[in-house]
Amino acid sequence: MTVFDRLEAQLLAAHPQHARRHVPRPAPRRIVAFAAAAAAVAVIAAAALSAGSSSTSTPAAQPGDAVAPVVPGKTTVAILNSTRTPGLAGQVATALAKRGWKIGSVTNGPDQSKKSSCIEFTRGHAAAASQIADQLGIETVRPADTVTPVVDIYQRLAGPAVDVIVVVGADRAR
Amino acid sequence: MIVSSSSDEALLLAARRDADAFAEFYRRHARPLAGFLVRRTGDPEAAADLLAETFAAALSGLGRFDPARGDAVAWLYGIARHQLARRARRGSVEERARRRLRMERLELTDDDLRALEACDDATIALEGLPPDQRAAVHARVVQEQDYAAIAAASGSTEPAVRQRVSRGLATLRSRLAREEHR
């Protein structure tokens, strides 16, 4: 990251739109979180049973994840090319569009030296992220907020209305 | 939705609520402004501090930007000149805006210093051009906007913008050729 990228990240973190997010929140209400997690497990189990043959691995539900069935046409996926190989993000976008996902930003990631691809999801989209991970054969799936505690640079590049972000690394340049 | 063809003024107005609009404005102007500051201070480290303080002050002062009183770039450079003047008076770069936003001072690597100095070269080259050519070359070459967008933003026509860009680039080429012969 150049000095310009770092300053940009600082400024964005300080923008009221983001700064507000970092006001300390009251402690999570455990019962609700537990109930949501339990519900998520139930839905996933049901999905796995009904899907039968398909093997779906899903990351642990995040507290606060809304549990809703995955509708690819209503799930916006952004794709960030984090390699120096041009066109990789476009290839992934085409593959996902064929499977019915709604494609959002397709653009360059903040750095062009990522070795392995990963997928991030915003709140409520863990199940969609894991479906996409299976379709693309990407192992790393994580919630979007954990990358940079101050401001998630992937999420910012991907745009405000994004549900799932695919960060394309060099492992897809084959 | 912020489109890359939005005018600077529209971006600053949107930026009051939309961080992405501010980011777009920053990306358009950070490097040229850094070049200006490196040139004025002769010191890339001070320029980086001034750049950060200027954008921090701009972010804090978005509510005070009034397009009726001048364009967005003039407003930004006005803040930068104010910071330059304060530095000249006090001998150090103001930190007030950064402190208020809890922005830490940027640590600079050698690569950062080189990147800052490179901005200066580009500014020097552009500064000698007539303002309309400079704006057109900057929009086309530095910001990579398309001709239609530049024409729309500057209230001009596409052929006129093309002509400005090509004349500006021709001037730059002949100037660089002259410098090489020195």
Q: Tell me: the pLDDT tens digits for A97-147?
A: 888 888 888 888 777 778 888 888 887 788 888 889 888 888 888 877 644
- Domain with B139, as residue range(s), is 128-182
**Interchain CB distance below 8 Å, B55 and A7:** yes
pLDDT value at position A152?
Answer: 58
pLDDT value at position B174?
Answer: 76
Task: Find the residue in A nearest to B22 (Cα).
Answer: A12
pLDDT value at position A81?
Answer: 85
Task: Find the residue in A nearest to B104 (Cα).
Answer: A10
- A159 and chain B in contact, CB less than 8 A: yes
pLDDT value at position B154?
Answer: 83
Q: How many CB atoms lie within 10 A of CB B54?
A: 27
Asked if the ipTM is above 0.90, the reply is: no
pLDDT value at position B48?
Answer: 97
**Quick one: B106 and B142 in the same domain?**
no
Q: Which of B75, B106, B123 is the last residue of a domain?
A: B123
pLDDT single digits (tens) A58-107 = 444 444 444 567 888 888 898 888 888 888 888 888 888 888 888 888 88
Q: Which of A5, A15, A151 is the best substitution to test chain B (most B C-beta atoms within 10 A)?
A: A15
Q: Which of B104, B123, B142 is the last residue of a domain?
A: B123
Number of structural domains chain B divides into: 2
Q: How many CB atoms lie within 10 A of CB B155?
A: 7
Is the domain spanning A3-172 CATH 2.30.110.10? The answer is no
**Quick one: B56 and B105 in the same domain?**
yes
Domain boundaries, chain A: 3-172
**Quick one: B50 and B107 in the same domain?**
yes
- A108 and chain B in contact, CB less than 8 A: no
Task: Provide the edge-to-edge strand list for the sheet that holds A140-143.
Answer: A102-108, A76-81, A164-168, A118-121, A140-143
Q: Which two tokens stand for residue A101?
A: 């996902």
**Residue from the list B19, B27, B48 with its beta carbon closest to the beta carbon of A15:** B19
**Quick one: B72 and B141 in the same domain?**
no
Q: Helical H runs in B16-155?
A: 19-41, 44-60, 72-90, 96-100, 110-127, 131-137, 147-154
Q: What are phi and psi of A78, to 5 degrees?
A: -100, 145
**Quick one: B25 and B100 in the same domain?**
yes
Chain A residues in contact with B19 by the CB 8 A cut-off are 12, 15, 17-18, 156
Task: Find the residue in B nearest to A151 (Cα).
Answer: B19
Query: What is the band of A31 on the pLDDT scale with cuts at 50, 70, 90?
Result: very low
10-residue stretch averages of pLDDT, chain B, 182 residues long: 69 90 91 90 95 97 89 90 94 93 91 88 73 83 78 89 90 69 56
pLDDT value at position A65?
Answer: 44
**Residue from the list A2, A14, A156 with its beta carbon closest to the beta carbon of B59:** A14
Chain A: give the shortest CA distance to residue B122, in Å.
16
**Quick one: B84 and B138 in the same domain?**
no
**Rounded CA separation B149/B34 (Å):** 24
Q: Which of B123, B140, B160 is the last residue of a domain?
A: B123
Chain A residues in contact with B106 by the CB 8 A cut-off are 3, 6-7, 10
**Interchain CB distance below 8 Å, B18 and A17:** yes
**Quick one: B45 and B111 in the same domain?**
yes
